[in-house]
Chain A
Amino acid sequence: MSNDEVSGVAWRYNASRNVQFDLDKFINQVCQRFETSYDINIAMILIDWIDQLHSSPSVNIIRCMPRFVPKFLSVIELQEGNHVIDLGKKALAQLNHFLEDLKDPRYRSL
């Protein structure tokens, strides 16, 4: 590859770089992974993500709640083994955080 060709690659890269981080797309990706996660470790990590996104004032993740509820409920009702119980507790705690928010009409809404 000549210096000109390399410069061409570098230029094309720099020209395509002016992209913003797409937060909505990312939130959607977190939701999708959570909805379809069957592994306990993965579900735990994704609830952490949901919790932290929920804690951020610049993110309104509560609008995704209708998508989370079925998964939260299915995880909460599982009662086998310590890991699953931990996951259920975590899901229940997160669901409670969402419900607390919904009680306050001045706060975030669906």
Chain B
Amino acid sequence: MFQSVTFRSLEKRSAATRQLQQEVEDFALKQDNVRIQNKIYGFEKLALDESQPVYRRSGLYGLSAISVALLKTKNESFFEQIVQTVVIRLEDRDPKVQVAACEAIFNVIKNYREVVLKSKFFEKIFDTTISLIGSSFVEVREFAKKVDDKIKDTVFACLTMK
């Protein structure tokens, strides 16, 4: 499972991600926090692996999928733990890992919205995203702009509600 979310084929990767989400949703419905925590630990370990960028990307895809599954079941307990790891990887030295981290943080902001704005990581997320917009890698820059747009949507939606 840990390796399968990083398949080259988008189809296979999507299938593995869906399977992971389903498993985590089932754990969450059964309130099996230990199994959820174990899944998070597994992907966190991969995301924090310093030896192979492909492991870090795999970890980020997994954490992103878990965060979506947890929100579906209204379980926000592990939010900060997941975001903390993703934020670290936004500053990765490998541009492909940075792109994966952008994708993950995009999904987190899209799904958690105001929770992200109120979290202690928001300042860091905004600051790092802005820095990535100045990246010399086009793909990183484009993904960072998407994240910035999502932050904008969320901030202004929040201001409109006030």
Binding site for B on A (CB under 8 A): 1-3, 6-7, 9-10, 13-14, 17, 19-21, 23, 25-26, 29, 33, 39, 41-42, 45-46, 48-49, 52, 56, 58-59
Option from B77, B117, B130, B159 in Cβ contact (under 8 Å) with A13: B77
Question: Binding site of A, secondary structure by majority: helix, strand, loop or mixed?
Answer: helix
Interface membership of B158, Cβ < 8 A: yes
- The answer on a CB contact under 8 Å between B133 and A21 is no
- Contact of A21 with B77 at beta-carbon distance under 8 Å, contacts A10-B33, A46-B130 already known: no
Question: Binding site of B, secondary structure by majority: helix, strand, loop or mixed?
Answer: helix
Q: Which of chain A's residues have a CB closer than 8 A to the CB of B81?
A: 9, 13
Interface membership of B10, Cβ < 8 A: no
- The answer on a CB contact under 8 Å between A6 and B159 is no
Binding site for A on B (CB under 8 A): 33-34, 36-37, 76-81, 114-115, 117-120, 122-123, 126-127, 130-131, 133-134, 141, 145, 148, 152, 155-156, 158-159, 162
8 additional A-B pairs beyond A2-B34, A6-B33, A19-B119, beta carbons within 8 Å, are A6-B34, A10-B77, A13-B76, A26-B126, A33-B130, A42-B130, A42-B133, A45-B145
